[in-house]
Amino acid sequence: MSDVYKMERREFVKILGGGIVVCVNLGSIAGLAACERRGFQRGYPDDINAYLHIAEDGEITLFSGKIEMGQGIMTSLTQMAAEDLGVGIESIQIVMGDTDRCPWDMGTFGSLTTRMFGPAVRAAAAKARLVLTDMAEERLGVDRQSLSVENGVVFVSGDRSRSVTFGELARGQAITHTVDEEAVQRSVQDFAVIGQSPLRLDGVEKVTGAAEYAGDIRLPGMLYARILRPPAHGATLTSVDTSAAESMAGVTVVNEDGIVAVLCVDPELAGRALRAVNAEYDEPNPTVDTESIYEHLVDVAPEPNVPDEEGDLGAGRAASERTFEETYYNAYVAHAPIEPHTAVAEVTDGKATVWSSTQAPFTQQQGVARALGFDPENVRVITPYVGGGFGGKVSGRQAVEAARLAQITGTPVQVAWTRAEEFFYDQFRPAATIKLTSGIDANGKLTLWDYQVYGAGARGSDVFYDVPNKSVRVFGEWGGAPEGLHPFAVGAWRAPAANSNRFAAEQQIEIMAYAAGIDPLEFRLSNTSDERMQATLRAAADRYGWQPRSTAARNGRGRGLACGIDAETYVALIADVTVDVASGSVKVDRVVCAQDMGIVVNPDGSRMQMEGCIAMGLGYVFSEELRFEGGKILDSDFASYKLATFSQMPQIDTVFVSNDALPPKGGGEPAIINMGAVVANAIFDATGARVYRLPMTPERVLEALSNV
Amino acid sequence: MKETIRFTLNGAPVTLETEINRKLLWVLRTDLEETGTKYGCGAGMCGSCTVVVDGIPVRSCIVNVDYVRGKAVTTIEGLATDGELHPLQREFFEHGAYQCGYCTPGMIMNAYGMLQENPTPSRTEIIEGMENNLCRCSAYKRIIEAIESAAGIGGGDHE
């Protein structure tokens, strides 16, 4: 491992000014191996991943490379630390996403914070409590077993007059501890902080406008930059004339290293100056567009990965009373965070500081260092609050742009993408074509599952139904798509690939259930022996008030069911819809969402994520579809690219399947993965029409109705 | 050409020498250093830049600063008084009617303007009044409930 990532443990204490520091090496925490080396990322270092500091004045600080983009981890990580340390959450400060102050982290994505990073935080807190209790043992002259900890005070059990505070214990200390043994963590029945729903720690700042995002950072002499952009991905600049922009008062023009930019103190003037730049481009002829992409994905597909294979497909066909062959399609969609990519950079004395809206500050530190020709330790990335990420704020292009322009001009620079730039440089959720052939025997038992997904990736394609003959082939992953598969960059979009895979799989299940004349809930229950899935399905059905029915209602109102596993969380959704058969428009009236996510650290925070998944999902279900001609992106604003809005909100009921035997699992993504299928299944129940392509626009619903 | 423009911002008088066709959003964020008002789309389509001018919610990214001459502009920074959250802010906070928080100032200001015109809106009126404010985290359900609570008409408790 490179020394770049190492910081001497003693250094921490020096920087922090004494007290007690507890460091954690995530490698020692069970379960981490699963998330190491995710293709484009290196694994966690064998050094420190988190640390907790108890200052001499008793102030407690948790340092984490994770970032807060709305998912609520500032609060839930603090809860986890508070639980095992024995303090209230108000006693802990948290510093996040600052590469100078926080230990290395691979990034905030994949619903990994709580399930992978949470254990490290708890281990550090438990260790700190142990260290402090040991020190108190000496101070109070009684042994550890006779001591209790509450609200940052260690006292003799039954005699609170004999006590010492954490601050008093930390005073005069300059020591570090590493978690080297499993310090005893609190068990579920003793939880005082985990399992509670305190008001979020970021709340007051966010409702008063005080919360700082990257674009709110203002430095003396800072210039706002606008950068020349090509008209299409793949276009090359053939000529550029910046003379008109250069003649504008107060405008600085940069044309260096392939970056053409105008800068000034007024962002609007920068915009006008950019419009005064005349540029010509060579644009490649488009070879693929919004409609032809689905065949293209199949035609140019790379060799498949085969994550799941069992039995023999031929035997499966032979054993099938009926087979079902369907093809499903899902569109490219944008992340469209309301805060566009933004960065502010300052480069002075061979050091760079970049405030960036990013999910991956340490990746950006590397990228900025490379671009500037600096050593990474001379680049500091600070992550203020991030205004939404959803997987889209990883690449760090805007941070590199701001840093290079700051280096070239010698002044602090802000690069804040416009909405059109945000749509252009997004790393979109890839389109997908899914070919699925399945079969059932005379008793409605699954016999065959022949699954091929093109373009999206594997996540969500796992077969948790009992199928003796199955094959899952994945042609192209979002994270490592070969050149030419997609006409522009694609990336991780909230539960990457799972939204496409569940759209296909869970519709296919209902197609077979109705064909077999079996209630769709009963069909699922009888075709999976996975007890967590059964319990999750039953929890959703109970809350909904499910009545078995084996034929579609076909009266304009329908219900659908869909389930899946994501981030080790089990999720089942039931939705009610009303279909206007004249217009093809669909209203989702109610969604019930049941989740088994193990121990629920913050129930209300988890509900927020479930509700957000469901509501955000309505966008990709009904209207979100990025239109393009080759590398030219045709959607550049919210007029043509429609997100979900207030009027679409259904009643949402969220249910937790109690499972305190299991450590906390992911919560930021699972509830979104079934939105396509649950609505499509409800449309089928309402009308008898099946929609195979997302988004399910009124036109596509009408077309499906015409085939009934 | 620069002109003198006077208006009140959160109750305090402001005098600016500036080009009159600049957008209010950027005057607020740069000259006046009030960064609570956010850029989201620059075209009046997402509402994250919403401020209230003489009681009416407006999209500051498409309104020239000229428009607010002699008027009273209220931004998110002007709602709390003496450290006390405005009822809308308190309800947004207590309902968890936000996630990333970026659209939140615009949501609250749009609701603030809406409630000035109609202090006891029905749920349908709230949805109509808020429809053109976008929240990508999609906290819509709780935003509706927070506004209902602030208006004293229920609001739900998220179980």
Give residue-wise pLDDT tens across range A410-425: 999 999 999 999 999 9
The answer to whether B146 contacts chain A (CB < 8 Å) is no
Q: Is A154 helix (H, G, I), strand (E, B) or coil?
A: strand
The answer on pLDDT for B100 being more than 60 is yes
Task: Using alpha carbons, list the distances in angstroms from residue A654 to A195, A532, A542, A602, B94.
Answer: 16, 17, 12, 14, 18
Instruction: Find the closest chain B residue to A642 by CA distance.
Output: B134
Shortest distance between the Cα of B107 and any Cα of chain A, in A, equals: 10
A10, pLDDT greater than 90: no
The Cα A674–Cα A667 span in angstroms is 14
Q: Comparing C-alpha atoms, which of A460, A473, A495 is closest to residue A301?
A: A473
> Is the CB of B127 less than 8 angstroms away from the CB of A71?
no
Residue A581 contacts B, CB cutoff 8 Å = no
Least Cα separation, residue A317 to chain B (angstroms): 44
Is A637 at the interface with chain B, CB within 8 A? yes
Tens-place pLDDT, residues A388-413: 999 999 989 999 999 999 999 999 99
User: In angstroms, how far is the first alpha carbon of chain A from the final one?
Assistant: 61
The answer to ipTM > 0.95 is yes
CB atoms near residue A93 (< 10 Å): 14
Q: Using CB atoms and an 8 Å cut-off, which of residues 7-46 of chain B contact chain A? A: 22-23, 26, 30, 33-43, 45-46
Chain A 409-468, CB below 8 Å of chain B: which residues? 416, 418-419
- CA-nearest residue to B80 within chain A is A208
Q: What is the pLDDT of residues A528-585, one digit of tens each?
A: 999 999 999 999 999 999 999 999 999 999 999 999 999 999 999 999 999 999 999 9
Question: Can you give the C-alpha Rg of chain B in angstroms?
Answer: 16
A596 close to A569: Cβ distance less than 8 angstroms: yes
pTM of the predicted protein model: 0.95
CA atoms of A337 and A523, how far apart (whole Å): 38
pLDDT per residue over B1-24, tens digit each?
799 999 999 999 999 999 999 999
B101/A205 touch (CB, cutoff 8 Å), yes or no: yes
Averaged confidence pLDDT in chain A: 93
Determine, for residues B134 and A645 on separate chains, whether the beta-carbon distance falls below 8 Å.
yes
* CB distance A140 to A38 below 8 Å: no
Type of residue at A457: G
Task: Place A17 in a pLDDT band, splitting at 50, 70 and 90.
Answer: confident
Q: Is the pLDDT of residue A650 over 90?
A: yes
In 3D, which of A507, A696, A682 has the Cα closest to residue A591?
A682
Indicate the pLDDT class of residue A28, thresholds 50, 70 and 90: low
What is the CB neighbour count within 10 angstroms for residue A272?
Answer: 15
Contact A208 B77 (CB under 8 A): yes
Dihedrals phi, psi of A11, to nearest 5 degrees: -60, -40
Orientation angle between helical segments B104-117 and B123-130, nearest 10 degrees? 130
Q: Where are the alpha helices (DSSP H) in A86-202?
A: 118-140, 166-170
For B70, counting Cβ atoms within 10 Å of its Cβ (0-12 exposed, 13-18 middle, 19+ buried), the class is exposed
User: H-type helices in A623-656, by residue range?
Assistant: none
pLDDT for A124 = 87
Residues A114, A116, A117, CA angle at the centre, nearest 5°?
70
Q: Is B143 on the interface with A (CB under 8 A)?
A: yes
Q: Which helix (H) or strand (E) holds A149?
A: strand A147-150
Closest alpha carbon within chain A to B107: A207
Answer whether A285 touches B (CB < 8 Å).
Answer: no
Residues of chain A with pLDDT > 90, as a percent, come to 85
**Could you tell me if residue A656 is left (phi over 0), alpha (psi between -120 and 50 degrees) or otherwise beta?**
beta
B residues 97..126 contacting A (CB < 8 A)? 98-105, 108, 126
Crossing angle for the helix pair A361-372 and A397-409, to the nearest 10 degrees: 40
Which runs of consecutive H residues, i.e. helices, occur in A256-383?
267-275, 293-299, 313-319, 361-372
C-alpha pair distances (Å), A146 with each of A153, A163, B103:
14, 12, 51
A79 has a chain B CB within 8 A of its CB: no
Does the beta-carbon distance from A203 to B75 stay under 8 Å?
A: no
What pLDDT is recorded for position A40?
Answer: 32
Q: Say how far apart CA A233 and CA A236 lie, in whole Å.
A: 9
